[in-house]
Amino acid sequence: MLALAQAKTYPQAARKARAEGRVVLAFTLDRYGRIVERAVAEGSGWPVLDRAALDLLDGFDRLPAPPAAMGAGPFPLQVPISYAFK
C-alpha cells in the first residue's frame, strides 16, 4: 500500500475537470511481487481516474514480495485508490 500511495499521481485532466472518486484495483502478485494480472474491480465513474489507477500499477516492475510464510501464491489483492482534492 505504501509503495502505491507514494507513486500515485493526480492526472492533469482529472484536476481540470475537478474529478474525484475511488477506484478499487484488483491484482494478483506472484511470490516475487510481480503483478501477473490487474483490473479495475470498481470504477470511480471517471475513466481518467480509472486509467490513472491502472497506470499506477503498470509503473512497477514488481511490488514488495509477500512474506515467504504465506506460501508460493498467487496472491489476489484488492486495493482502493482515492482521488480527492484537499
Residues 1-55 have pLDDT tens digits of 788 888 999 999 999 999 999 999 999 999 999 999 999 999 999 999 999 999 9
Beta bridge partners of 40: 25
The pLDDT of residue 86 is above 90: no
pTM of the complete model beyond 0.85: yes
β-strands 21-29, 75-83: how paired?
Answer: antiparallel
SS3 83: strand
